[in-house]
């Protein structure tokens, strides 16, 4: 059984061996924000996925809000990432890098010196952030970005995308989901600006669309995707008035920019409210590129939704943590292991390369 999931599919210029995507998974193993040999092993072991999307990687020193997450904004990082992409390509895998700027989600203790916690508005995130030096700390009140800082941050995305291509990635996924910087602009609970980047839906979309436009102009739409999470609640986001029309318009505009895929998060399986099918259907019909389904999928539900035409590829997150050979297991209908959440973000090989 499960046939469609294992059919090849064209994604821009590359042919993926199957429609199984390894979802982006922050694992916090990048000491000094630099990819290392342990990460090479981890990704290479999962190269059977049709497409690997990396963990969130910051395009800026300011976006390294969590401890030990990798960056991609200098040559040293690009060279280190090249060892990862080489290992994955050697095994005939393909790989997009997820550019995740954490924005207000962070703490100064996690950032390199000179970096700053920037966000569309000076609205503090609730809850605490882990720091290796001081344990759990309150999120700080972020600095409201000036228009100049918005401009330089957009250029950081472009520069990072360039470095990604240099580092051998097949493309870039802009992280506009889960309450990180791009979604901080999209969401009116977080974005209180009154200039051209806030207020109306058109203004709140501007940062996301500018990032998508500039990155796709630089590296090509065929190498640019975006991840979104309408109705997501992570990092104090949540639904807002006019959300259906908002994402209808956003997906239409991303389609016009020629992005190769849209990756839609549904964290219903993680305890968040289920994302209504109405909005997924709207995005599906407005966006002419590929659609990646994600959130709580099994072999059976993935196959069902692909056959129903709900999407073109299916991302698996937690199962990929505990089952490096996930594609083989799905194909054989074998039982899947569950990951140990205690080692999701701890440094070292335990719960990372020893499944």
Ligand X SMILES: Cc1cc2nc3c(=O)[nH]c(=O)nc-3n(C[C@H](O)[C@H](O)[C@H](O)COP(=O)(O)O)c2cc1C
Q: Rounded distance, CA 294 to CA 341, Å?
A: 19
Task: Given the residues 180, 197, 261, 297, select the one marked as catalytic.
Answer: 180
Q: Rounded distance, CA 87 to CA 89, Å?
A: 6
Q: Rounded distance, CA 20 to CA 27, Å?
A: 20
C-beta closer to ligand X: residue 117 or 326:
326
C-beta closer to ligand X: residue 289 or 339:
339
How buried is 90 (Cβ within 10 angstroms: 0-12 exposed, 13-18 middle, 19+ buried)? Answer: exposed
Shortest reach from residue 345's CB to ligand X, in Å: 7
**Do 266 and 295 form a contact (C-beta atoms < 8 A)?**
yes
H helix and E strand count, the chain: 10, 14
Going from the C-alpha of 6 to that of each of 182, 286, 299, the distances in angstroms are: 32, 26, 11
C-beta closer to ligand X: residue 23 or 283:
23
Q: What DSSP string runs through 313-324?
A: EEEE-HHHHH-T
- Give Cα 128 to chain centroid, integer Å: 21
Shortest reach from residue 270's CB to ligand X, in Å: 6
Shortest reach from residue 183's CB to ligand X, in Å: 10
Shortest reach from residue 98's CB to ligand X, in Å: 6
C-beta closer to ligand X: residue 25 or 190:
25
In DSSP terms, which residues pair with 129 in a beta bridge? 137
157 is catalytic: no
Shortest reach from residue 314's CB to ligand X, in Å: 9
- Give Cα 120 to chain centroid, integer Å: 19
Shortest reach from residue 274's CB to ligand X, in Å: 13
- Strand positions, DSSP E, the chain: 9-11, 14-16, 20-22, 51-57, 95-99, 118-119, 128-131, 135-138, 143-144, 171-176, 224-228, 261-265, 290-294, 313-316
Binding site for ligand X (CB under 6 A): 23-26, 55-56, 98, 100, 175, 177-178, 227, 265, 267, 269-270, 294-297, 316-318, 344
C-beta closer to ligand X: residue 178 or 187:
178
C-beta closer to ligand X: residue 24 or 188:
24
- Give Cα 196 to chain centroid, integer Å: 25
Which residues fall within 8 angstroms of residue 50, CB to CB, at 6 or more apart?
A: 8, 9, 16, 17, 18, 19, 20, 21, 94, 313, 327
Q: What residues act catalytically?
A: 180
């Amino acid at each position: 059984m499960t046939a469609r999931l294992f059919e090849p599919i064209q994604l821009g210029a590359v042919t993926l061996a199957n429609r199984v995507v390894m979802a982006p998974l922050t694992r916090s193993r990048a000491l000094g924000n630099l990819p290392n040999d342990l990460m090479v092993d981890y990704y290479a072991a999962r190269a059977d996925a049709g497409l690997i999307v990396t963990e969130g990687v910051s395009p800026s020193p300011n976006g390294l809000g969590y401890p030990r997450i990798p960056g991609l904004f200098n040559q040293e990082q690009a060279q280190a990432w090249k060892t990862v992409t080489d290992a994955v390509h050697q095994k005939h895998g393909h790989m997009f890098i997820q550019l995740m700027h954490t924005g207000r989600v962070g703490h100064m203790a996690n950032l390199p010196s000179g970096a700053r916690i920037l966000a569309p508005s000076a609205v503090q995130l609730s809850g605490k952030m882990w720091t290796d030096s001081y344990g759990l700390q309150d999120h700080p009140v972020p600095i409201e970005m000036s228009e100049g800082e918005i401009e330089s941050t957009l250029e950081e995305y472009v520069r990072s995308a360039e470095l990604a291509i240099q580092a051998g990635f097949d493309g870039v996924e802009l992280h506009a989901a889960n309450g990180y910087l791009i979604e901080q602009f999209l969401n009116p609970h977080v974005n209180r600006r009154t200039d051209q980047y806030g207020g109306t839906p058109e203004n709140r979309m501007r940062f996301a669309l500018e990032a998508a436009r500039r990155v796709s102009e630089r590296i090509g739409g065929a190498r640019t995707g975006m991840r979104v999470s309408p109705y997501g609640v992570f990092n104090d986001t949540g639904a807002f008035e006019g959300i259906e029309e908002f994402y209808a318009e956003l997906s239409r505009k991303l389609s016009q920019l020629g992005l190769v895929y849209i990756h839609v998060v549904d964290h219903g399986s993680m305890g968040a409210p289920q994302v209504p099918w109405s909005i997924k259907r709207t995005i599906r019909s407005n966006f002419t590129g590929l659609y990646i389904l994600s959130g709580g999928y099994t072999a059976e539900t993935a196959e069902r939704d692909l056959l129903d035409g709900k999407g073109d590829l299916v991302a698996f997150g937690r199962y990929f943590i505990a089952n490096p050979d996930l594609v083989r297991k799905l194909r054989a209908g074998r039982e899947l292991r569950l990951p140990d959440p205690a080692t999701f973000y701890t440094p070292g090989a335990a719960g990372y390369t020893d499944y």
